[in-house]
Amino acid sequence: MIEWMANMLNVPIYALNAGLSAIILGVVSGVLGSFIVLRKMSLMGDALSHAVLPGVAISYILGINLLLGASIFGLLAAVLIQFITNRSTIKSDTSIGIILSSFFALGIVLITFAHSGLDLTHILFGNILAVPKSELLQSFIIMLIVIAVVSLFYKELLISSFDPVVSKAYGLKTNFYHYLLMMLLSVVTVSSLSQVGIVLVIAMLVIPAATSYLWTNKLLHMIILASVYGAACGVAGVLISFTYNLPTSATIVLVGVTGFGISFIISPKNNFFKKGLKVH
């Protein structure tokens, strides 16, 4: 099917693969990223995307599915961060910093130890031009799963993000939804490894969602716009990087942040000119 589409559009197969995976990544990170941004978990998202590295290495060593190993380590990191924050007076940004760097370090050691065909640079920065067809399919399925989970639990995710206190008061298991999102985040991180790599996943999660936030007053609109914008940045980034021979993942991120910068200045909601400097 990919071959047929490539013929129709008259582009090389690897280029079409790159474009499609950029679209998938944009959509999935727009959906998930909206919740990450609204729940003030950008830093947490960054931590989780780094924390999956040991999971990737161990899965490779043991020959199990990457998604499984990575999800376990992602959830483990989320639990540990919560544990340190709850059981001490250490603030959550510090516990995030500790877990992020130590998991990442462990991952690097494990990968080196494995002497494997695992290419660290590839995992860290991705290579969207070398996405195999199997991974493309996997990303697509994960996208469908994420959209399905978010649609099914939409009202619970909305209320636990918007008003956690009232959610708890009426008996909603807010912790469950926290870990559900952490789990999806780990899975998405892994599925986007080949596209943008660990280091830049967080950019895809945060930038389209934050840009969309500046233009919308409804959660559903924010999610849709973030997905469309994420996908558009992906395609534009791929095209620009092809044309000017630039690293693709970095180009996608820079395209995204340009739109954010423009939105920051001209969005009526942000009201940059009238507001001037925020006085706290």
CA distance linking residue 184 with residue 26, whole number of Å: 15
Determine if 1 is a binding residue for other proteins (CB under 8 A).
Answer: no
CA distance linking residue 226 with residue 36, whole number of Å: 12
| Residue of 98, 118, 219, 232 that binds other proteins (CB under 8 A) | 219
Contact of 79 with 25, CB cutoff 8 Å: no
Determine if 280 is a binding residue for other proteins (CB under 8 A).
Answer: no
| Residue of 9, 154, 246, 261 that binds other proteins (CB under 8 A) | 154
Neighbours of 64 (CB within 10 A): 13
* DSSP character at residue 171: T
Contact of 20 with 127, CB cutoff 8 Å: no
Closer residue to other proteins in complex, CB, 113/154: 154
Closer residue to other proteins in complex, CB, 11/219: 219
Determine if 222 is a binding residue for other proteins (CB under 8 A).
Answer: yes
Phi and psi dihedrals of 237, rounded to 5?
-60, -45
Closer residue to other proteins in complex, CB, 133/221: 221
- Where in 157-216 is the site for other proteins (CB under 8 A)? 158-159, 161-163, 165-166, 168-172, 213, 216
Stretch that binds other proteins, among 71-79, 148-156, 186-194, 242-250 (CB under 8 A): 148-156
Contact of 123 with 53, CB cutoff 8 Å: yes
Closer residue to other proteins in complex, CB, 3/163: 163
Closer residue to other proteins in complex, CB, 161/227: 161
Residue given tokens 């044309």 in the structure block: 243
- Where in 31-60 is the site for other proteins (CB under 8 A)? 38
Determine if 258 is a binding residue for other proteins (CB under 8 A).
Answer: no
CA distance linking residue 61 with residue 185, whole number of Å: 23
Give the containing element (helix H, strand E) for 188. Answer: helix 174-191
Min dist CB 174 to other proteins, Å, is 10
* DSSP character at residue 128: G
Contacts with other proteins: how many residues (CB under 8 A)?
26
CA distance linking residue 24 with residue 143, whole number of Å: 7
Min dist CB 274 to other proteins, Å, is 14
Determine if 155 is a binding residue for other proteins (CB under 8 A).
Answer: yes
Closer residue to other proteins in complex, CB, 93/163: 163
Neighbours of 101 (CB within 10 A): 13
Can you give 61-86 as a three-state secondary structure string? HHCCCHHHHHHHHHHHHHHHHHHHHH
| Residue of 221, 262, 265, 271 that binds other proteins (CB under 8 A) | 221
Which distant-in-sequence residues (6+ apart) come within 8 Å of 206 by Cβ? 33, 36, 37, 42, 45
Min dist CB 67 to other proteins, Å, is 25
Determine if 121 is a binding residue for other proteins (CB under 8 A).
Answer: no
Closer residue to other proteins in complex, CB, 33/69: 33
Summarize as ranges the residues that interact with other proteins (CB under 8 A).
38, 152-156, 158-159, 161-163, 165-166, 168-172, 213, 216-219, 221-222, 269
